[in-house]
Structure 1
């Protein structure tokens, strides 16, 4: 009887406290500024996101299809991305018009005013000014509901344009009857092979009044890669046309089943009401009290954005399209899509482990199926496509966090197998990472970010192994999780890139460059979430580490190097607008200065989240920006997902009620103890038994002139003063000579092209071997560059153009010279007249990075360096539209010529044309080696 009473009390208390929390949702938050959200009608985690599109150009601020600064609507499509940094979706676009139909988006689009626009949870409405049409939208998980009111009598049109936004690879429209059509769209954008099917039902018979089709037109079937149709009917003044659109990733049968399950209602208001109930069910999981309506709006809109994705991506019967592009059945779990894991592993997924354990298990079951059907866990999955966007293998963080917090409903062994597989691949620098225990600039671009994030992920895998009792795996991955130590420079406290065995110089921690992912060294020098005590120790203790945290907030609030639009919300160099910074303010807790955490978190909550269209300080990033707010407002944050505990701060609201799936309610106030907050929701988790593991010995640094004239001094430095160094050298011609390592006693000179190998040893533990190559110059020419090199792409100086070292196709490693918006001209002084018959210079093309082959290259010769004779012109033969990253040697055979000076002139492509995403921008020329033979 006592137990029953307690349960009833919890339920009654919940019901008494529950309110219409959806009333506080403002879908316009984040639609301005750089939030990249959309205001349309959605339900929690739904397949359909029915929203207006005001951007069709693929621009960065138009990633969601909508931006608050716009005044023209092109149509209403059924899929959208919430706060991403790359454009996609916008599928199955409909647009109502009147009069003679036109299939040009410039003609069927309409002006609108925000004063005639409304968006609430599960509902969107707007007046289209052009033809005085009122539009209302609502939705279920898989069916979008449109209601168009034509305020004038005449000919009404519904435009269906399958070429809307991204590239149409394959389109099909089938006329089932005058009120029903079926549509197939296969498209390419960020997801390179996206399938969507739909069943569209009109409330009255419609006739095709205009069409644009470049394929088949037979038996009410239209196909092609250019496909737009106008469906028309006469209407009276004030008449409504309702449309229901069911979508499916699997086929027409799936769309029909989804329509039957969720699209039978003809009562728009009933569907809208159900959407509100769906939202209240989710939003009421966290109930907050405040007298400030704006604060309530910001909080519940943040929770709304967290629940916008991942999106259910299977039909009502459980059929889904897998990563192998085949159809499968999900019998006992929900299959989802849209996993922005580099962002969401930090806060969105930890939040879900607290309030939605069942859906967390569904996400992980989706991961496992994607591993089984696609060969690896998702990195950034979209519409059953792996985009390979961002870095790391952060699915393992979500899995480890769930396992550590006791979430069940998925196969732990299979999840571990999939996680280990991701860590053992040879892609994106992982091969070098496994062999050398870090990634250098020579191995892979974004080497620092990849090293530190792989190390965290490895720690996550180790935690899984520990839970499963896999001792050897635990020890292996715990050692790998220390790989950050190889890029930690003890002299300055920063995570610094290494190149050719040495620290890369010059080094500016504020510089945004190709060694970091969407950031700089400030942002990544705190990214050791798995071993914060180790990072503190590396800095020399809590006091010094506190000073280092202070330093990021007090640094100048300007970055240097490449402009990176994602870096926003700066407090010094701390960037709340981008994810790598999100845990940093909480690190004060680790140095016994919680009051500093309090100060920073409150400032961010007060200033960077607003009830306004530009109310997000950076991209929403599929709920991560908002999840940070939700957790921090509750007084908790997961600095280290994979640990069943929270870092704490004073709650932002007077009272918070957290309703958990087990039926219990947790009440949080400003007086809740830090200990209670720290274990909130995970009080009964028992840690796995400890297993010993080895400490990693960091690899030594080898310094010398990479290119030298006659000799250079080699100095080898350990990263820990307690390490002993052993080395060996391989000179030119030593390839078949067996050599052994000897103890390093001090700097030494080399006189030939030499490869130096060195490792550190401490307490019997050896580091990986550092390998560095030092080249004696193959010539003693001089060089004058008559163009201005981009400071990001100097390859170490002008002699890189004649050093005999060729850059590879991955130009981000830094071996290429880059010149933007100008022709390239270089003069080589051979020092004395020499005869030659062969001239060449090597260029690179990466269309998507604005790097295009020169239009032509001219070679000149001169005896005095003043009067030049044109010897040969080599025309470009590479199509500028070719997106393959490739290298071309513009070689020229000439008659035997004697000269002292050789001039090379390469003509840049010019401004990027309309077909290019960066249209109007200036193209780059990338050049590496110039040869005279």
Structure 2
């Protein structure tokens, strides 16, 4: 057999491969469309991302601070996020202007043209049209270099605006001398408590010419939450002013040290040249051959985007700000920030485990320190803040993958203990997950996604336990890793949400709703990366599972339910633009149809990655979108991070050379065999002793009417036909009766409010006990609602408003009825005249989610259902700016009144005002229980 994967055993100096691959990088890829990238000057994994800001409003497509469709630049700030879905950063913004200085961003901003804009690896330039100023930017890891050329003589200004983008909590500017200032900025956005310090050095003396200060203004010290300064000087035509900005997360001393280490040079060109060299060194780790320059641009820009973050987040002396806001010094590793782990565990980190094992070890050492200093491993960490964004505890995937692939340099035992800690917390539905072996709608929103992703993470922890010889931990977490089985509906093959013990109905797999994270059931019904053979078996074998994979690509290419901007790049319901789909095309390999994997992957590579500003089909998401491309072009992808092997496809390029840290090189061509690709880079990974573990017995389904009039039939169904079922009932008269489980044989009828518990048993293994509550209606009333609920927020229908069951503050669990842009009006028919003395209705406020209390609630009474008399008006007392998620009972006592009909009218807040992040959008009213006594 011809060997096409060549292993060069000799150690080859890396600089032999440091060719000019940076020439292919196009930083504008992803700055249009929904890519959310930025074009500014960066070096690999640097603290500084020096880039223009064309948006200050925090809009969806302005998350990075820049969008290619814009024509106005507000300034150049030193921190940006690469391809995320939430706005943040934009710290230490500078803007050169001329003439009379202004501190109003509408005045100091400038139009620009893409014709006069350039971006390359480590460099950015643009002409500001308003004052004919040429701006050039480059950077080191911690120091941003600005060069401003003023093409007209006159008064030159440099604006420093600390109120740029996010909310300024504390600001300070200290004037050291006429060429040096120090800046402190503490701000709040997505990350709620961000610290950044800066030392700014001008190349010529500058004087303060204008200031906006609402705090101290004395002795060259300015503070406040409104803080902007203009620094001015006279310039000749064509004169340049250079500015250097060193940043630090720890303090002025750190910024000063960073400046001394990386900001001594006054030669802009030499710094730019070094930035290019830094990029060439990193990019040359993978060399690809192609005659298609656009494909080379896409590939090397993809590497550039992967190497943009995580960002070094310590000073040159190793000092960093821990998750507890205390200071520490990193020893023998580099400390990083910006971990978008829900995205990057899938492809970006597996790629790094192949080509950058040392940095992978540094990432994990950072994780361990964040656990020690902040109480848990990072989920989505940003600037020493845990944002708690997205789901799972995917740090454990990165750790398990590294351990399985033989990466060292971190404490395996500490990493395992930190991972186990994440899995044993009682947050985000984990308490229910541990107790019931799945999460229901009743327990937590996004219940399906959380269950399946927790199960994968648990498998990762089990792999660590196996490597460390921890048999009991391995068995415990392997059993937990099977919890997906409790949400797998064998009747339709989908991961389906459960509510009150039953499947949630009606069910539409295309519907985007609060039971899934940025997706729908199509996207998550393949998310059993840890046990694809088990998922195939559940479907009934390879042929049926192949049909199920075919089905996602053949499904209609539109979603239903909530509009979800992240779901892009649809091929049927497969969404290349969002991460949960990224492994699905590779699943054909598991059913012996690699040719189908090859066809789907090639289509995606050909059509969804382009050398244009809108060349990314979805958010870059801190390198994941690009990592998928890099790996797939090489013919590999990690369906299951934590296994030291790749799933494979036909390589895309004529030839790929991968230079590994041990000095060896791997060569891939289009003829490289799949067997050779499968273990690429991990040929020597160790195997560890397997332990036996118990198979999970799935929890049965209990079906009945949750609210019934006189009686309802209860049916209990096993998810595995070989299971035996046991049940127990407790009704209102059984408070002091001791009950035991008995065998279930057939459906039965209940006529009282009853609690039904059940479990399944197979081969001596019991499932978790499921408990369902079925309520006899407290009345026989009817209700007519004259408002139209949002299809996402209909609870169990209109009777939910008078069923005696109250929703809690987690409205995403589905107990509330939501009405947008309209006043809520409902009429209760009590069927006969009643004496009433008290009326109430309950509403919810979550201001950040556009849900606000009604302005007022009116109660009316009628005998005939047509002629209503106003009984009472209850005004709102909750501040609409109060972001606390809360409920309020708009209750009132009334004089005894006889009526058959009661009307409730709740006036919606209206259009969201300017202070709201959703300004000009329509507010929601969320209402649950209406009570008449």
Q: Aligned partners of 2:543, 2:880: CA distance in 1, in Å?
A: 55
Shift in Å at residue 892 of structure 1? 1.0
1:412-811 residue pairs with structure 2 within 5 A? 412-811=412-811
2:3 maps to what in 1?
none
Render the CA deviation track for 1:433-489: whole Å, top value 9, x for unaligned: 000000000000000000000000000000000000000000000000000000000
Residue 790 of structure 1 contacts residue 819 of structure 1 at CA under 8 Å; is this kept in 2?
A: yes
Tell me if 1:856 matches 2:852.
no
Q: Aligned partners of 1:182, 1:12: CA distance in 2, in Å?
A: 45
Q: Which moved more, 1:16-25 or 1:114-123?
A: 16-25
Residue 22 of structure 1 contacts residue 276 of structure 1 at CA under 8 Å; is this kept in 2?
A: yes
Q: Secondary structure of the equivalent of 2:403?
A: helix
Q: 1:18 to 1:221 in 2, by over 3 A?
A: closer
2:188 maps to what in 1?
188
Shift in Å at residue 671 of structure 1? 1.4
Residue 911 of structure 1 contacts residue 922 of structure 1 at CA under 8 Å; is this kept in 2?
A: yes
Q: Aligned partners of 1:765, 1:614: CA distance in 2, in Å?
A: 53
Q: Aligned partners of 2:24, 2:7: CA distance in 1, in Å?
A: 29
Shift in Å at residue 737 of structure 1? 2.2
Q: Secondary structure of the equivalent of 1:170?
A: strand
Q: Secondary structure of the equivalent of 1:475?
A: helix
1:62-77 residue pairs with structure 2 within 5 A? 62-77=62-77
Q: Aligned partners of 1:857, 1:95: CA distance in 2, in Å?
A: 50
Q: 1:15 to 1:244 in 2, by over 3 A?
A: closer
Tell me if 1:150 matches 2:150.
yes
Q: 1:240 to 1:11 in 2, by over 3 A?
A: farther
Q: 5+ unaligned residues in a row in structure 1: which ranges?
A: 1-5
Q: 5+ unaligned residues in a row in structure 2: which ranges?
A: 1-5
Q: Aligned partners of 1:573, 1:44: CA distance in 2, in Å?
A: 35
Shift in Å at residue 332 of structure 1? 1.1
1:314 maps to what in 2?
314
Shift in Å at residue 267 of structure 1? 0.3
Render the CA deviation track for 1:402-457: whole Å, top value 9, x for unaligned: 00000000000000000000000000000000000000000000000000000000
Q: Aligned partners of 1:418, 1:11: CA distance in 2, in Å?
A: 36
Q: Secondary structure of the equivalent of 1:211?
A: strand
Q: Aligned partners of 1:10, 1:508: CA distance in 2, in Å?
A: 57
CA RMSD, Structure 1 to Structure 2 (Å): 1.0
Shift in Å at residue 61 of structure 1? 0.3
Q: Which moved more, 1:611-620 or 1:914-923?
A: 914-923
Shift in Å at residue 736 of structure 1? 3.2
Q: Aligned partners of 2:791, 2:672: CA distance in 1, in Å?
A: 52
2:388 maps to what in 1?
388
Q: Secondary structure of the equivalent of 1:288?
A: strand
Q: Aligned partners of 1:746, 1:116: CA distance in 2, in Å?
A: 77
Q: Secondary structure of the equivalent of 2:464?
A: helix
1:237 maps to what in 2?
237
Shift in Å at residue 687 of structure 1? 1.1
1:249-398 residue pairs with structure 2 within 5 A? 249-398=249-398
2:179 maps to what in 1?
179
Residue 753 of structure 1 contacts residue 775 of structure 1 at CA under 8 Å; is this kept in 2?
A: yes
Q: Aligned partners of 2:43, 2:648: CA distance in 1, in Å?
A: 31
2:225 maps to what in 1?
225
Q: Aligned partners of 1:8, 1:87: CA distance in 2, in Å?
A: 45
1:807-846 residue pairs with structure 2 within 5 A? 807-846=807-846
Q: Aligned partners of 2:169, 2:158: CA distance in 1, in Å?
A: 23
Q: Secondary structure of the equivalent of 2:626?
A: helix
Q: Which moved more, 1:668-677 or 1:155-164?
A: 668-677
Residue 26 of structure 1 contacts residue 297 of structure 1 at CA under 8 Å; is this kept in 2?
A: yes
Q: Secondary structure of the equivalent of 1:550?
A: helix
Q: Secondary structure of the equivalent of 1:44?
A: coil
Q: Secondary structure of the equivalent of 1:905?
A: strand
1:3 maps to what in 2?
none
Shift in Å at residue 142 of structure 1? 0.1
2:876 maps to what in 1?
876
Residue 18 of structure 1 contacts residue 284 of structure 1 at CA under 8 Å; is this kept in 2?
A: yes
Shift in Å at residue 11 of structure 1? 6.0
Render the CA deviation track for 1:667-722: whole Å, top value 9, x for unaligned: 11111111110000000012110100000000000000000011000000000000
Q: Aligned partners of 1:73, 1:361: CA distance in 2, in Å?
A: 39
Q: Aligned partners of 2:394, 2:825: CA distance in 1, in Å?
A: 45
Q: Secondary structure of the equivalent of 1:801?
A: helix
Q: Aligned partners of 2:931, 2:823: CA distance in 1, in Å?
A: 19
Q: Aligned partners of 1:362, 1:883: CA distance in 2, in Å?
A: 37
1:199 maps to what in 2?
199
Q: 1:153 to 1:11 in 2, by over 3 A?
A: farther
Residue 11 of structure 2 contacts residue 662 of structure 2 at CA under 8 Å; is this kept in 1?
A: no
Q: Secondary structure of the equivalent of 2:516?
A: coil
1:846-925 residue pairs with structure 2 within 5 A? 846-925=846-925
Q: Aligned partners of 1:600, 1:551: CA distance in 2, in Å?
A: 13
Residue 18 of structure 1 contacts residue 287 of structure 1 at CA under 8 Å; is this kept in 2?
A: no
Shift in Å at residue 15 of structure 1? 5.4
Q: Aligned partners of 1:336, 1:322: CA distance in 2, in Å?
A: 11
Q: Which moved more, 1:457-466 or 1:790-799?
A: 790-799
Shift in Å at residue 19 of structure 1? 2.0
TM-score (norm 2): 0.99
Q: Aligned partners of 1:327, 1:650: CA distance in 2, in Å?
A: 49
Shift in Å at residue 13 of structure 1? 8.6
Q: Aligned partners of 2:735, 2:878: CA distance in 1, in Å?
A: 38
Q: 1:326 to 1:13 in 2, by over 3 A?
A: closer
Q: Aligned partners of 1:832, 1:929: CA distance in 2, in Å?
A: 21
Q: Aligned partners of 1:726, 1:550: CA distance in 2, in Å?
A: 38
Q: Aligned partners of 2:734, 2:102: CA distance in 1, in Å?
A: 74
Q: 1:743 to 1:40 in 2, by over 3 A?
A: same
Q: Secondary structure of the equivalent of 2:662?
A: coil
Q: Aligned partners of 1:822, 1:96: CA distance in 2, in Å?
A: 47
Q: Secondary structure of the equivalent of 2:514?
A: coil
Shift in Å at residue 254 of structure 1? 0.1
Q: Secondary structure of the equivalent of 1:843?
A: strand
Tell me if 1:131 matches 2:135.
no
Q: Aligned partners of 2:354, 2:883: CA distance in 1, in Å?
A: 44
Residue 725 of structure 2 contacts residue 744 of structure 2 at CA under 8 Å; is this kept in 1?
A: yes
Q: Secondary structure of the equivalent of 1:492?
A: coil
TM-score (norm 1): 0.99
Q: Aligned partners of 1:8, 1:236: CA distance in 2, in Å?
A: 59
Residue 7 of structure 1 contacts residue 663 of structure 1 at CA under 8 Å; is this kept in 2?
A: no
Q: Aligned partners of 1:313, 1:837: CA distance in 2, in Å?
A: 63
Shift in Å at residue 735 of structure 1? 3.1
Q: Aligned partners of 1:196, 1:719: CA distance in 2, in Å?
A: 54
Q: Aligned partners of 2:321, 2:9: CA distance in 1, in Å?
A: 44
Shift in Å at residue 12 of structure 1? 6.1
Residue 12 of structure 2 contacts residue 663 of structure 2 at CA under 8 Å; is this kept in 1?
A: no
Render the CA deviation track for 1:127-152: whole Å, top value 9, x for unaligned: 00000000000000000000000000
Q: Secondary structure of the equivalent of 1:544?
A: helix
Tell me if 1:54 matches 2:43.
no
